[in-house]
Structure 1
């Protein structure tokens, strides 16, 4: 057994991840951490965990919404630099069959996700937009709005704290 373990102990320590692409730098504070928030009323939580992919060329966000007595709602977002468009783009997929594609624009103190469409498994389309605003070094606020006709209505506001 010792002769098997010795070669493993002599392997070099895993290299630190490469510096993320410049376009993804505004999201770097999220990487390597899970963030959790409680919806108003305290009966639902959302936990988002971020990790770099491919030496900082992409960022993965896995999230789970938990509600007592209901199956978890699970989704995954991959952020990447769309060189052709010159912006950060994302693809979101979730366990019920829905998906969304969009962009992220860095702003002073926030990450803005302009209006885009979520397509549910039933084919229904929801137009939404989101803003994540940092709140110190250990939290950020997610504010989501959905379009109803010509108006934008609040969908949710959630403070997510570093776990």
Structure 2
């Protein structure tokens, strides 16, 4: 019984562990869900972020919902790649597609440089930028199609 307070204090300290220094630009996302509507208002996208492994990783579980369709669900795990000296991520979605990429903080938010989404044996180059604001961020995703970058979507996601 004497060890119970020590265990409780240890658990509380772990839950409040500071994130890895390289992940701090993403700290505002952690512990919250963020929701936005795709252009046209017929689909929503919700991202929920939580720290993992004492702040060494950040999980983003996202769900795209559209009336009459099954949910599209994906998980991203952000972590500090010490060999490369940068934040990296692995994304996997419920249809089997995946990608690996990096995140770099910028003056206006977070940059996700060009990488490849792979599904069904095909690759799609894409990149993104999130412009941050209090209680919201705007995501701009671009795809490389027919020798040029094309905006896939712009979406404002608000803290829920």
The answer to whether TM tops 0.5 is yes
Matching of residues 24-35 of structure 1 within 5 Å: 24-35=23-34
Aligned partner of 1:143 in structure 2 is: 140
Aligned partner of 2:123 in structure 1 is: 125
> CA offset at residue 150 of structure 1?
2.3
> CA offset at residue 148 of structure 1?
1.1
Query: Residue 113 of structure 1: SS of its match in structure 2?
Result: strand
Cα RMSD after superposing both structures: 1.7
2:54 is the alignment partner of 1:58: no
> CA offset at residue 123 of structure 1?
1.1
Cα distance between partner residues in 2 of 1:59 and 1:84: 18
Q: Mean alpha-carbon deviation: is it higher for 143-152 or for 13-22?
A: 13-22
Matching of residues 12-161 of structure 1 within 5 Å: 12=8, 14-15=11-12, 16-120=15-119, 122-135=120-133, 137-161=134-158
Unaligned runs of 5+ in 1: 1-8
Aligned length: 155
> CA offset at residue 12 of structure 1?
2.9
Residues 23-80 of structure 1, C-alpha deviations (whole Å, 9 max, x = no match): 0000000000000001111100000000000010000000000011000000000000
Query: Residue 74 of structure 1: SS of its match in structure 2?
Result: strand
Bigger CA radius of gyration:
1
Unaligned runs of 5+ in 2: none
Query: Residue 95 of structure 2: SS of its match in structure 1?
Result: coil
Residues 77-126 of structure 1, C-alpha deviations (whole Å, 9 max, x = no match): 00000001000000000000000000001111210000000001x11111
Cα distance between partner residues in 1 of 2:121 and 2:150: 21
Moved over 4 A (4+): none
Query: Residue 25 of structure 2: SS of its match in structure 1?
Result: helix
For normalisation by structure 2, the TM-score amounts to 0.92
